[in-house]
């Protein structure tokens, strides 16, 4: 299977990224719209990037939508659950922005040459967003999620509630840095290509 | 840019059109147009050689350097 062009690997990756990109914006829209729709007896659950194992659930028993932090085998205080749910929103927006940039790069591969200055800028933006996501995750986990988890009580005595680490995920950080370096390489490559195009 | 191209003046003196020149030096009209309008970022020695040969001139007749304020000032 070829990497570029029609029916190539990049083409299919573009389709998958578009699906995840639409999914991320759907979740953001759900956060904003669903509480106002008054939908009843519907449940909608998804994983959040705040901490491993922490889930945010939106459900509407009794006619009112509530954003509730749900962890396995845990009773959650509602006041804290609101904070936990709303914390996920900026992360999902940032992930949607990363996917949006990746999607535009993949679409440009279908349209023609990838060596355009816009792609270099998109790649740089993706790298910066990745570092921003991880920095925010560490700060939010250390200041808000860890204290929240400490207050949670397991329903079954002795059972481990949840694990959240405020230590940086170095794989993610290194990947972000590598993307930034690649973006600079890409930018210089496009500059050389532009110069080549204007050499007579 | 501080480099100015005088191709149009040389062509006028030689009473030659850009199309005729493109046929004689085997360059596309688009590329010669880029050169003539000063949009070119670089010129190959082979191109310069061909232009000088056809137009019977020196490189200095085609391009010159002009003092310009440094970038950012």
Residue B8, domain member (yes or no)? yes
Residue B72, domain member (yes or no)? no
Chain A contact residues (CB < 8 Å to B): 194-195, 198-200
Q: What is the mean pLDDT of chain A?
A: 74
pLDDT at A42: 45
Q: In chain B, which residue's Cα lies nearest the Cα of A200?
A: B43
pLDDT at A144: 73
Which residues in chain B have Cβ-Cβ distances shorter than 8 Å to A198? Answer: 34, 39-42
Q: In chain B, which residue's Cα lies nearest the Cα of A195?
A: B41
Find the CATH number of the domain harbouring B47.
1.10.260.40
pLDDT at A110: 78
Separation between Cα atoms, residue B36 and residue A10, nearest integer Å: 40
- Do A145 and A81 touch, CB atoms closer than 8 A? no
Confidence at A27, pLDDT banded by 50, 70, 90:
confident
- Do A58 and A67 touch, CB atoms closer than 8 A? yes
Confidence at A156, pLDDT banded by 50, 70, 90:
low
User: Shortest CB distance from B31 goes to which of A194, A195, A200?
Assistant: A200
Separation between Cα atoms, residue A116 and residue A119, nearest integer Å: 6
Residue B24, domain member (yes or no)? yes
User: Would you say residue A157 has pLDDT above 50?
Assistant: yes
What mean pLDDT is predicted for residues B57-69? Answer: 88
User: Would you say residue A129 has pLDDT above 90?
Assistant: yes
How many contacts does A have with B, using Cβ atoms within 8 A?
Answer: 23
Look up residue A41 and give its two tokens: 């007896």
The label of the residue with tokens 């040459």 reads A113
Angle at A14 between CA A8 and CA A17, to 5 degrees: 145
User: Shortest CB distance from B44 goes to which of A194, A195, A199?
Assistant: A199
Collapse the DSSP code of A161 into the 3-class scheme (helix H, G, I; strand E, B; otherwise coil) and give the result: coil
Number of domains in chain B: 1
Nearest-CA distance A111 → chain B (Å): 23
B63: β partners: B5
User: Would you say residue B62 has pLDDT above 80?
Assistant: yes
The DSSP string of A81-142 is: HHHHHHHHHHHHHHHHHHHHHHHHHHHHHHHS-S--HHHHHHHHHHHHHHHHHHHHHHHHII
**Structural domain of B14:** 3-65
User: What is this structure's pTM?
Assistant: 0.67
Confidence at B1, pLDDT banded by 50, 70, 90:
low
Separation between Cα atoms, residue A150 and residue A152, nearest integer Å: 6
pLDDT at A33: 67
User: Would you say residue B36 has pLDDT above 80?
Assistant: yes
**ipTM of the modeled complex:** 0.74
User: Would you say residue A197 has pLDDT above 80?
Assistant: yes
The CA radius of gyration of chain B, in Å to the nearest whole number, is 13
User: Would you say residue A75 has pLDDT above 60?
Assistant: no
Burial call A20-51: b when 16+ CB within 10 Å, e when fewer: ebeebbebbebbeebeeeeeeeeeeeeebbbb
Separation between Cα atoms, residue B73 and residue A167, nearest integer Å: 46
Chain centroid offset of residue A181 CA: 21
Which residues in chain B have Cβ-Cβ distances shorter than 8 Å to A193? Answer: none
Q: Do A199 and B40 touch (CB under 8 A)?
A: yes
Q: Which residue has the higher pLDDT, B2 or A34?
A: B2
User: Mutating which of B21, B41, B47, B63 best tests the A interface, going by the most A Cβ atoms within 10 A?
Assistant: B41
Which residues in chain A have Cβ-Cβ distances shorter than 8 Å to B47? Answer: 200
Neighbouring residues of A97: CB distance < 8 A, sequence distance ≥ 6: A125, A129
User: Would you say residue A158 has pLDDT above 80?
Assistant: no
Angle at A114 between CA A109 and CA A116, to 5 degrees: 135
pLDDT at A67: 40
- Do A123 and A141 touch, CB atoms closer than 8 A? no
pLDDT at A113: 74
pLDDT at A51: 40
pLDDT digits (tens, 9 = 90+) for A177-196: 999 999 999 999 998 888 88
pLDDT digits (tens, 9 = 90+) for A31-64: 766 555 554 344 444 444 444 344 444 444 443 3
Q: Which of residues 28-67 of B touch A (CB under 8 A)?
A: 31-32, 34-35, 39-44, 47
Chain centroid offset of residue A166 CA: 18
pLDDT at A58: 45
């Amino acid at each position: 299977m070829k990497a570029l062009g029609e029916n190539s690997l990049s083409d299919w990756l573009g389709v998958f990224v578009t699906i995840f990109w639409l999914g991320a914006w759907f979740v953001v829209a759900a956060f904003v719209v669903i509480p106002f729709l008054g939908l009843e007896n519907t449940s909608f659950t998804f994983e959040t990037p705040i901490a491993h194992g922490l889930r945010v659930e939106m459900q509407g028993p009794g006619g009112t939508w509530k954003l509730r932090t749900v962890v396995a085998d845990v009773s959650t205080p509602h006041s804290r659950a609101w904070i936990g749910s709303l914390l996920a929103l900026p992360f999902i927006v940032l992930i949607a922005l990363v996917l949006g940039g990746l999607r535009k790069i993949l679409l440009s591969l279908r349209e023609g040459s990838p060596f355009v200055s816009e792609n270099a800028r998109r790649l740089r933006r993706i790298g910066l967003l990745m570092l921003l996501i991880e920095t925010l995750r560490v700060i939010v986990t250390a200041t808000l999620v860890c204290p929240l988890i400490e207050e949670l009580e397991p329903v079954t005595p002795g059972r481990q509630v949840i694990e959240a680490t405020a230590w940086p995920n170095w794989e993610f950080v290194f990947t972000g840095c590598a993307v930034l370096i690649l973006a600079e390489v890409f930018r210089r490559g496009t500059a050389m290509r532009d110069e080549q195009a204007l050499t007579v | 840019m501080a480099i100015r191209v005088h191709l149009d003046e040389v062509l006028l003196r030689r009473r030659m059109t850009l199309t005729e020149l493109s046929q004689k030096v085997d360059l596309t009209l688009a590329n010669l147009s880029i050169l003539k309008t000063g949009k070119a970022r670089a010129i190959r020695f082979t191109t310069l050689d061909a232009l000088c040969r056809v137009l019977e001139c020196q490189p200095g007749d085609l391009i010159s350097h002009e003092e310009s304020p440094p970038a950012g000032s």
